[in-house]
């Protein structure tokens, strides 16, 4: 039982990931949009679109877009056996 608990802990810690796209790294930023995206069955064949230019009020104001699978997201995925797989999305706009 102890080995199973250790294996589950190690497996849950390896799933965190972040993808970051810096469009204009020279500008100061502020997170303007922070939301959770919903994916089912591990997100296989699914996509979620967000219009960063619309969120920031113009394409020239978009500084960074990032998506992250946090420890909480991984926990929810493990709890639902991969049926529900949420991810965080953040859009940073220039001030």
Q: How far apart are CA 65 and CA 92, in angstroms?
A: 6
Kindly tell me if the per-residue pLDDT of 86 is higher than 70: yes
Q: What is the pLDDT of residues 37-70, one digit of tens each?
A: 888 887 777 788 888 889 888 888 888 888 888 8
Residue 86's CB: how many other CB atoms inside 10 A? 17
Q: Global pTM?
A: 0.68
- Domain range annotation of the chain: 2-94
Kindly tell me if the per-residue pLDDT of 29 is higher than 70: no
pLDDT at 11: 63
């Amino acid at each position: 039982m102890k080995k199973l608990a250790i294996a589950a802990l190690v497996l849950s810690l390896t799933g965190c990931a972040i993808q970051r796209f810096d469009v204009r790294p020279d500008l100061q930023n502020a997170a303007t949009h922070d939301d959770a995206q919903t994916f089912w069955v591990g997100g296989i064949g699914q996509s979620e679109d967000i219009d960063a230019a619309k969120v920031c009020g113009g394409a020239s104001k978009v500084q960074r877009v990032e998506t992250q699978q946090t420890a909480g997201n991984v926990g929810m995925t493990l709890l639902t056996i991969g049926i529900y797989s949420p991810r965080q999305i953040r859009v940073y706009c220039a001030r």
